Amino acid sequence: SCPVAPASRSSQEVWESFSQCFTPAVKEVVEFAKSIPGFQMLSQHDQVMLLKSGTFQVLMVRFCSLFEPKERTVTFLNGQTYSLPSLRALGMGSLLESMFDFSEKLGSLGLEQDEMALFMAVVLVSADRSGVVEVGAVEQLQENLIKALRSLITSRRPDDSTLFPKLLLRLPDLRTLNNQHSDKLLAFRID
């Protein structure tokens, strides 16, 4: 629901409002993680580590629905639609460009809401584990979630054996998006 760039505002103010709109989105990913069966069985340390390394990637999946790849536009939850050039002024052109490509590939798979949610759970527990202590527990949780995702997708499309592998191929894409863009700068005014 991020109101970006009415013409009268300076790019600094635009940058601040864009930065602000990440905060609620991150909090929603934290709540989502806590609802994943088994996630809260992990140690608190490992929950925090997975969230720190996986949240950006989950956000990228969530934001896909805002992107209209054909027209290269982004529609925020408040209904405001922006073209890619107008958002380039925010200096996030390269991230947005990658997002259009990623959302086109993910969108073409035509996942249902619950399949997308289960995929996001897999994305989170598949995130970088360098800070994780009990790797075995995380791997077990990942295996369970991948099994659940596979059975949900194959039960609905018994004759389509390509969809599930195509979906898993999005995981490295997300890892690349994360490595390329999570160091984007945000700015917050301190009063």
Partner 1 sequence: PKTHRVMTLADHISHIITQDFARNQ
7 binds partner 1 (CB under 8 A): no
Q: How far apart are CA 14 and CA 6, in angstroms?
A: 8
- Nearest Cα residue to 176 out of 83, 97, 82, 77: 97
Which parts of 33-52 interact with partner 1 (CB under 8 A)? 44, 47-48, 51-52
Smallest distance from partner 1 to CB 70, Å: 27
Q: Backbone phi, then psi, for 83, in 5-degree steps?
A: -85, 160
Among 17, 19, 80, 140, binds partner 1 (CB under 8 A): 19
Smallest distance from partner 1 to CB 92, Å: 10
C-alpha dihedral sign at 50, 129, 146, 22:
positive
CB 120 within 8 A of CB 32: yes
Span interacting with partner 1, options 17-25, 78-86, 96-104, 135-143, rule CB under 8 A: 17-25
Binding residues vs partner 1 (CB under 8 A): 12, 19, 22-23, 26-27, 30, 44, 47-48, 51-52, 55-56, 181-191
